[in-house]
Structure 1
Amino acid sequence: MNSALSRRGFLAGAAGITAGVTLAGCGDGGPTVPLSANADVKLPTYIPYKGVPTSMPGTPEGITPAYLHYPADPVRAFPDGPPAKGPGIDIMTLIFNPVPPPVNRNVMWQALNKSVGTDLDFRITPVGDYPNKFAVTIAGGDLPDAMLMLLTSAIATPEMLGSLFQDLSEHLSGDSVRDYPYLANIPTASWAPCVFNGGIYALPMPRQLSGNPNYTRLDLFKKAGVDPNPRNWREFAQMCKDITDPKANRYALGDSVTAFNFVMQMLNAPNKWREESGKFTWYFETEEAKEALNAVRSLTRAGTLHPDTYTVTGKVKEWFGSGRIAMTWDAPSACNDFYTNYAPATEGFEVGFMKAPGWDGGDAAQWQGGANYAVLIIKKAPKERIKQILRAMNALATPFGTDGYLLRKYGVQGTDHTLQGTDPVLTTQGQAEVTLPTIFATDAPAVQYYPARPETVPGQYAFQEKVVPHLVADPSEALRSATDSRKGGLFQTTVDDTRKGIMQGRVPLKEWDDLISRWRSEMGDTIRAEYEQAWEASH
């Protein structure tokens, strides 16, 4: 694994505040802490939960443990009773799903509050609106007890954190984390981006490292007599042509950007950034990027992408689930969505996992997934209040095999789920209620477990065994560039428009060079220098 995810590869750097947003009443945040101070922070001791035995165990390199069934007798996570009794806790966070029913009409949420011992008031904002909501809340000064912070946020500065939010080091550093054993079960890689100002300023939202599979509709490939195991780019391109059948309204792919990412892996391109002897190169400024653009343009020209690929957004999962596309590159958790939301309506529905082939054969890169989605920061408060909040978050990190995990993920038996053997199967009510975004406060380390279709678990585990030896990390993940946070997202829109235009065939490839030159002069060389400075300070 890349050393950027080691204990010394921490968030570093400083940033300005988003234009028009000021920190209400927070002063200057105290003296500036040198970047090198972050390298000396003692992260929480990693104490893995010795839970449910499995023939498909996890590994330190990034394979996620897998389970066919839930234990018949889940372990009581808190045998001495609710762990976080006290005042209610406001948690500002985001959601990708529809917002769940409010607590007075949500049996799962009510049961969760009872089990934790306090009222968890989730203030939920749709994901697209969250960055603005975060900035406005910080500027207004009326802060919730805890709030999700995107690591790319332009206002997520060390100065802001030092002014408004709690340094959790005395509670979590080293063996202190033993008071919160389920937080101690979160791997070290997920704690690294929680460090600012020479202290631990956040809790992780851990995610698995094995990266995205290229999902295949195996049932469609079998029906069409097409082999879904290409050994190089040439065979992949031919396979896309062979599985495409416009008369049957079936195409190989439905999203040009994820197709680009998959081809970049074939080319062994860097995962966001490439680090060589402390020097950084952005993946879009590589020769591999231009080759991938040209490759996806050839797939478009061959008619293997859905006709609405470049004009319609938000439909790719639906197209895959309904069989209108045969492949999609998506997060590991998407597998559960496919089997829950689409398999019941399609006889023989079967999902496979395609490893990227090397461009000319051999092994390709597998882009490592981020160790966190985001992090949770906690408003400054007296020590006992901080401890109560940490006990509540410890309860939201109870691992697979416990009653707490079962409640968070599947709700209340009889109302939110029924049992099929020992496995919970969500009811219609449960499907609405369990979208409560506890995973966007903190969470247990990921596992592979699909109660609706347990037979798919060995396939995804086997996929991880194949790809984890070839993981390529993003070396910038645990670092910080103020300029990237402030300007990078705005420029990304221009990048995406040009990238899609080239892949669609509307824009000549030579415009890519002009775009990259503009990026370098306007921000790219500054971003690069900031990452290199942060890298040097943390190694």
Structure 2
Amino acid sequence: MPSHPLRPAIRRRRFLGLVGASTTAALTAGALSGCGSGSGGGGGGSASDAGSLDDLIPTHIPFEGVTPDIKGRHGAPDGFTAYPENFVRAMPEAPGRGGHYTAMTPLWGPIPPGLGANSFFDYVNGRLGATVEFNFQDGNTVIDKMNAVIAGRDVADITMIPDWTINLIPQFNRAVGELFEDLTPHLAGDAARAYPLLANLDSDAWRWNVFNQRLHGVPWPSEPFGNWVLYRRDLMEEYGIEPPSSPDDLFAIGEEVNDPDNNRWAFGDFNLSMRQVFGAPKQWRYEGGELVHMFETDEWRASVEYMRKVFDAGLVHPDIVAQGDNAKELLNSGQIVFNQDGIGAWHEAYMQMLGDNPDFRLDLMPVFGNGGGDPVMHRSDPSGQSVFVRKGMEPEQVEEILGILDFCAAPFGTREYMDYRYGEEGVHHELNDDGAPQLTDTGNAEVNDGYYFLSGRPPAVTESQYPDFVQWKCDWYNHAAQFTEEDPFAGIRIQRPERFSAAETPMTDRVEDIIRGREGLGALDEAVANWRRDGGDEGREFYMKVLQEHGRD
């Protein structure tokens, strides 16, 4: 293994939308659903059918790059088991014209040296033919900064906002048209041919960036699923235990490996994953002409009862019982064996651990249902973030910025991807014996994700520098993706009513108390009744109207 990680470890508590929603923030069912395209006035919610947006988004033009080694099935991403010997050059020339632009993005990790003291910025800006000057914000507190920026109407030339943050910014649907450029004339239909790497992005992700019937954002296409249970495969192999294939099997394994006297517990929290194992919907189920919310289903209640059983048995690390945020460290150190996290935490752990412990192995817990049935896997929203261009710029400046974003949309296997991800070969990275990039000391100090966050690219499993990673992850994805939930609201972009959203916070807080034994299971009935009273039933009426308006009832 390389002496330096591929890229600096991401030190953050939450990295939502990009590598998957964290356990705590995603406790609220549907909290990360897409922003609506209505007026955004008031708290009544809004919805629009994504199918009606086709005239506003780019014509999809696939980019013919490197051929994947493992083809994704059922909507799963493709996998690449090695870096190509020859990188494809996606752009014949630099897209910039010498402009200088500010960019605001979150960053999870230490702030790198700035422009003028960072050769990585110098190199990539040289490749762009323009200067991008970053103003990084702490990703853990980005919602506070973005609220202030939007309220103060003080935006950078280029602004990246995670999707979950957009959903928490008051009146964003109104502000977006006042602050950010309408990209429809530049990108709709065949106009996007001028930006072929942006035209390569998925159409559903583009639809997610239409606000008020205008295209305002450049998307970040999401991987299908945000969260699942990671487990220490190396420790399980030491025990001689096969991975679980049912909830009962998982519980029995937990009892076998749990050893508090030797500082090892079986589990962190994995509440969100068990909802899917037991077959609860992500938010709503439409049956018999009625909408039934997740909180009202027998499957969800069964998952809560199961988690209570796990906590009652003493199988959960005490830090997690106390709702601590150190589950990653506990899993990496072997103090717990199973833990739910964003799927991106897998390769982050490898970055941190493999240098000192080359036998360290994680894997995703197999997907299974309860009682021999199928699970119901909750698919992520189509786009995990949006990149906006400041309103009021000259048309040629907008075009230059779109050229920059086009460069940063270059997919795996291209020369441009290597440039904005790893900098200059021989300065910021070297290629190891397998052809994978390995950051140098200079790269570890200067390379960062700024340009990576300026645009999305087709999801792919590419981390071939980690042993077995690509094959294991693709195997899991290709199996799990076939169990994706049938969502009655698929293709409809929704901004939820404020009372409906607000009612979920006390509900999920109380469920956490019940799971941890602070209240009895009998309190679930009162909690659900309070949720209905405080906004749940109002949300049901709103969503039923959405179904009726779109002919889904």
Q: TM-score range by the shorter chain?
A: 0.7 to 0.9
Alignment partner of 1:214 is 2:229: yes
Taking the aligned partners of 1:45 and 1:304, their CA distance within structure 2 comes to 52
Offset at 1:350?
Answer: 1.6
The AA in structure 2 aligned to 1:237 is F
Please state whether the residue corresponding to 1:219 is helix, strand or coil.
Answer: helix
Alignment partner of 1:434 is 2:447: yes
Alignment partner of 1:461 is 2:474: yes
Offset at 1:159?
Answer: 2.6
Of 50, 58, 76 in structure 2, the residue corresponding to residue 63 of structure 1 is 76
Offset at 1:393?
Answer: 0.8
> Is the CA contact 2:75–2:481 (under 8 Å) kept in the aligned structure 1?
yes
Taking the aligned partners of 2:222 and 2:48, their CA distance within structure 1 comes to 26
Query: What does 1:468-487 correspond to in 2, within 5 Å?
Result: 468-472=481-485, 475=489, 478-484=492-498
Taking the aligned partners of 1:392 and 1:280, their CA distance within structure 2 comes to 45
Alignment partner of 1:115 is 2:127: yes
Alignment partner of 1:13 is 2:13: no
1:79-137 deviation digits (Å, cap 9, x = unpaired): 22x20224222222212333333233333222221111222122221233222222222
Alignment partner of 1:166 is 2:181: yes
The AA in structure 2 aligned to 1:89 is Y
1:25 maps to none
Taking the aligned partners of 1:538 and 1:104, their CA distance within structure 2 comes to 53
Please state whether the residue corresponding to 1:349 is helix, strand or coil.
Answer: coil
Alignment partner of 1:510 is 2:525: no
Q: Which moved more, 1:501-510 or 1:528-537?
A: 528-537
Query: What does 1:213-292 correspond to in 2, within 5 Å?
Result: 213-228=228-243, 230-254=244-268, 256=269, 259-275=270-286, 280-292=291-303
Please state whether the residue corresponding to 1:166 is helix, strand or coil.
Answer: coil
Taking the aligned partners of 1:136 and 1:208, their CA distance within structure 2 comes to 30
Q: Which moved more, 1:260-269 or 1:139-148?
A: 139-148
Taking the aligned partners of 2:131 and 2:376, their CA distance within structure 1 comes to 45
Taking the aligned partners of 1:538 and 1:173, their CA distance within structure 2 comes to 24
1:132 maps to 144
> Is the CA contact 1:77–1:404 (under 8 Å) kept in the aligned structure 2?
yes
Please state whether the residue corresponding to 2:266 is helix, strand or coil.
Answer: coil
After superposition, the Cα gap between the structure-2 partners of 1:377 and 1:207, relative to the gap in structure 1 and judged at 3 Å, is: same
Taking the aligned partners of 2:260 and 2:136, their CA distance within structure 1 comes to 41
> Is the CA contact 2:48–2:492 (under 8 Å) kept in the aligned structure 1?
no
> Is the CA contact 2:408–2:455 (under 8 Å) kept in the aligned structure 1?
yes
Taking the aligned partners of 2:378 and 2:442, their CA distance within structure 1 comes to 36
| Normalised TM-score (structure 1) | 0.87
1:447 maps to 460
Taking the aligned partners of 2:302 and 2:266, their CA distance within structure 1 comes to 20
Please state whether the residue corresponding to 1:369 is helix, strand or coil.
Answer: coil
Of 324, 336, 343 in structure 2, the residue corresponding to residue 332 of structure 1 is 343
> Is the CA contact 2:277–2:367 (under 8 Å) kept in the aligned structure 1?
yes
The AA in structure 2 aligned to 1:208 is E
Q: Which moved more, 1:413-422 or 1:232-241?
A: 413-422
After superposition, the Cα gap between the structure-2 partners of 1:379 and 1:508, relative to the gap in structure 1 and judged at 3 Å, is: same
> Is the CA contact 2:258–2:264 (under 8 Å) kept in the aligned structure 1?
yes
1:24 maps to none
Report percent identity of matched pairs.
28
Taking the aligned partners of 1:131 and 1:372, their CA distance within structure 2 comes to 18
1:264-311 deviation digits (Å, cap 9, x = unpaired): 111111123334588644323333222211111111111211121032
List gaps (5 residues or longer) in structure 1: 1-8, 19-32
> Is the CA contact 1:63–1:210 (under 8 Å) kept in the aligned structure 2?
no
1:28 maps to none
Alignment partner of 1:194 is 2:206: no
> Is the CA contact 1:65–1:447 (under 8 Å) kept in the aligned structure 2?
yes
Please state whether the residue corresponding to 2:201 is helix, strand or coil.
Answer: coil
2:6 maps to none
Taking the aligned partners of 1:396 and 1:253, their CA distance within structure 2 comes to 39
Taking the aligned partners of 1:12 and 1:482, their CA distance within structure 2 comes to 11
Offset at 1:145?
Answer: 1.7
1:320 maps to 331
Alignment partner of 1:176 is 2:191: yes
The AA in structure 2 aligned to 1:338 is A
1:384 maps to 396
After superposition, the Cα gap between the structure-2 partners of 1:428 and 1:371, relative to the gap in structure 1 and judged at 3 Å, is: farther
Offset at 1:473?
Answer: 6.3
Alignment partner of 1:54 is 2:68: yes
2:28 maps to none
Alignment partner of 1:408 is 2:420: yes
> Is the CA contact 2:285–2:291 (under 8 Å) kept in the aligned structure 1?
yes
Taking the aligned partners of 2:42 and 2:442, their CA distance within structure 1 comes to 42
List gaps (5 residues or longer) in structure 2: 1-33
After superposition, the Cα gap between the structure-2 partners of 1:440 and 1:509, relative to the gap in structure 1 and judged at 3 Å, is: farther
Offset at 1:225?
Answer: 1.9
Please state whether the residue corresponding to 2:355 is helix, strand or coil.
Answer: helix
1:49-87 deviation digits (Å, cap 9, x = unpaired): 21112331235x32111112111221223222x202242
Offset at 1:432?
Answer: 4.7
Offset at 1:399?
Answer: 0.7
User: What is the count of residue pairs matched by the alignment?
Assistant: 509
After superposition, the Cα gap between the structure-2 partners of 1:476 and 1:531, relative to the gap in structure 1 and judged at 3 Å, is: farther
1:85 maps to 97
1:342-399 deviation digits (Å, cap 9, x = unpaired): 1222242122222232111242122223322221222223322221111111111111
> Is the CA contact 1:41–1:199 (under 8 Å) kept in the aligned structure 2?
no
Please state whether the residue corresponding to 2:69 is helix, strand or coil.
Answer: coil
The AA in structure 2 aligned to 1:467 is A
After superposition, the Cα gap between the structure-2 partners of 1:173 and 1:288, relative to the gap in structure 1 and judged at 3 Å, is: same
Of 152, 161, 166 in structure 2, the residue corresponding to residue 151 of structure 1 is 166
> Is the CA contact 2:72–2:474 (under 8 Å) kept in the aligned structure 1?
no
Offset at 1:192?
Answer: 1.9
> Is the CA contact 1:64–1:208 (under 8 Å) kept in the aligned structure 2?
yes
Of 500, 504, 507 in structure 1, the residue corresponding to residue 512 of structure 2 is 500
Query: What does 1:31-42 correspond to in 2, within 5 Å?
Result: 35=48, 39-42=52-55
After superposition, the Cα gap between the structure-2 partners of 1:412 and 1:40, relative to the gap in structure 1 and judged at 3 Å, is: closer
Taking the aligned partners of 2:465 and 2:42, their CA distance within structure 1 comes to 46
Offset at 1:313?
Answer: 3.0
1:491-523 deviation digits (Å, cap 9, x = unpaired): 554334312211110112233332332232222
After superposition, the Cα gap between the structure-2 partners of 1:157 and 1:347, relative to the gap in structure 1 and judged at 3 Å, is: closer
After superposition, the Cα gap between the structure-2 partners of 1:181 and 1:271, relative to the gap in structure 1 and judged at 3 Å, is: same
After superposition, the Cα gap between the structure-2 partners of 1:353 and 1:93, relative to the gap in structure 1 and judged at 3 Å, is: same
Q: Which moved more, 1:35-44 or 1:349-358?
A: 35-44
Taking the aligned partners of 2:540 and 2:100, their CA distance within structure 1 comes to 43
The AA in structure 2 aligned to 1:115 is R
The AA in structure 1 aligned to 2:456 is D
Alignment partner of 1:356 is 2:381: no
Taking the aligned partners of 1:266 and 1:300, their CA distance within structure 2 comes to 18
Alignment partner of 1:519 is 2:534: no
Taking the aligned partners of 1:263 and 1:36, their CA distance within structure 2 comes to 31
The AA in structure 1 aligned to 2:274 is V
After superposition, the Cα gap between the structure-2 partners of 1:16 and 1:465, relative to the gap in structure 1 and judged at 3 Å, is: same
Q: Which moved more, 1:195-204 or 1:88-97?
A: 88-97
Taking the aligned partners of 2:326 and 2:235, their CA distance within structure 1 comes to 19
